[in-house]
Amino acid sequence: MKLIETALPGVLILEPQVHGDARGFFVETYRASWFEAHGLTAPVFVQDNQSRSRRGVLRGLHYQTVNPQGKLVRCARGAVFDV
């Protein structure tokens, strides 16, 4: 994530890094440790990622026994089949 200061005191632009390929894209929109490292107050929420997939793309959930993560699925348009 890139932090850009503005001419307005206390107003920052946070520009996430978008990773795109033929399937769509993935972007980390929030990570508490990054905000804390830059002196920004972070709520209890730890991390948020977002991806968009083109029609017919199958994505996998990576199983983790150490530091497991929950999953929030949202569909802004179209349909999704979640297993």
Is position 60 within any domain? no
pLDDT of residue 61: 66
Is position 25 within any domain? yes
pLDDT of residue 43: 59
Entry pTM: 0.45
pLDDT of residue 8: 94
Dihedral sign of CA atoms 29, 33, 35, 41 in order: positive
Number of domains in the chain: 1
Is position 13 within any domain? yes
Is position 74 within any domain? no
Is position 11 within any domain? yes
Is position 37 within any domain? yes
Tens-place pLDDT, residues 59-76? 776 777 887 777 667 777
Residue-range definition of the domain harbouring residue 32: 2-53
Tens-place pLDDT, residues 8-56? 998 888 888 888 889 888 888 777 778 778 887 765 666 777 777 888 8
Is position 71 within any domain? no
